[in-house]
Structure 1
Amino acid sequence: MSVVEVTRGNSPLVLGLPHTGTYVPESVLDCLNANGRALADTDWHIHRLYDGLVDATTVRTTTHRYVIDANRDPGGGSLYPGQNTTALCPTTDFDGRPIYREHQAPDADEIEARRIAHHAPYHAALTAELDRAQAQFGFAVLYDCHSIRSRIPFLFDGRLPDLSIGTNGGATCHAEVEALVCAACDGAYGLTSVLNGRFRGGWTTRHYGCPQDGVHAIQMEIAQSTYLAEEAPPWPWDSAKADRLRVILRPLLQSLCDWRPS
């Protein structure tokens, strides 16, 4: 099966979807324990949440993050040194529990094989679409789409804000791009938001975000409580919640489609 799905739009905006896939090759599935096979750390339904909101390009990997995490440094470097996080090829879930059967975790050769088969194609496609947008419009905006359970004690204290914006301290995009997203989130009735809190932007945002070269990147981490009926299996979609959130996301994304560098 294809590990990358690309839908082209006609705007400078490119949506990255690195964590919505649930595909796990049989060779990997055989090594996972029952906890790993539950695939609990999926960004459940995020591609559905953003579908059709604006005329943007989308790049999505169908591979699950337990196979390899497309939003991690392919060299294995940590995004948040000194803090609990998961690796390029995770061996634990977000609660710190093992996801592999005993002695079945991938070795260095297996990790490299997965990088070539799953991580590299996603980023090749993402690079190609950003290059295409930049060639057409003179710049590109990458909006990296994520979601996560609102409470995960292993990763962070307390409850996450509903909308977590990441720009690595403003380094990954023009200040106007950051301001547009923050303004939309600040005006979102009933929702909380934060800029560069626990999540400052993953490897994708930090790697591609180079405003001086015309590529502006920003990450949005959405608490799953804002669009799911329950943050637990079977991760049920809540149409009423999701529709309210889509009303907020549509003008946010449209403002990024319409933005032009000054």
Structure 2
Amino acid sequence: MPDRDPSTHRVIGDAGAVGGHWDLPGVPAHLIATDGVLCATLGVPEAVPSGIAAGAGPGDPDGRRTAEVLARLREHTLAQARAIWNEQAVGLLRVARPAPAAPEAAELADAYADRAFETWIHTGDLARLFGLRAVRPTRLDQLIAYGLRALGPLPADAPVSLVLTGSGGGRWVLPDAGHAPLATVTAEAVEFRLLFGGRRTLASVRVDISGSAPAARAALAAAASLARL
């Protein structure tokens, strides 16, 4: 059995779909599990082979793959779990390449964006645990674009103007129905991404609302409903 450093087994709380408390090696275990779709699509061997097939979309919505990988890595130190995750990450980056304009290429690009978003969210979890400053994504604009594509198909009672400030920000109308928005929701770009990632709630997210409050709240609820990390 590997030597275990007690400092590698601090609890990070109820993050993730599994629902139980994760110790630190549980974070790379979860990231290993959520790479399943990309690994299967690109023919990259999973660092921890799973008996549970990856779903049709990114991530691990029901948490079953995470639970399996976490059980297999339970006796590993944080350094060992991180090395296994890093090996898989390097393999996925090695086969990444510019994609042609095709529906399947867009799906692949979204899978990579989802992976980057998930890694950033859980890096923030660890930073908060140790009292460190959270890392700001270098390409926040790409993560915002991915989130808006995911949010676009959701039904809404009325269009809302979304204004994101700071790096990667901009103005969008959701959904783009060709009608004048009934409300404007203004938020810092990172704050909106934290709502999308389940690290803010409708009660705690810092936003400014003008116009129809019900329409604005409906749009924010739609963004929060996508949280699954």
> Taking structure 2 as the reference length, what is the TM-score of the superposition?
0.30
Higher RCO (CA < 8 A, seq sep 6+): 1
Higher Cα radius of gyration = 2
| Bigger fraction of residues in helix | 2
> Taking structure 1 as the reference length, what is the TM-score of the superposition?
0.27
| Bigger fraction of residues in strand | 1
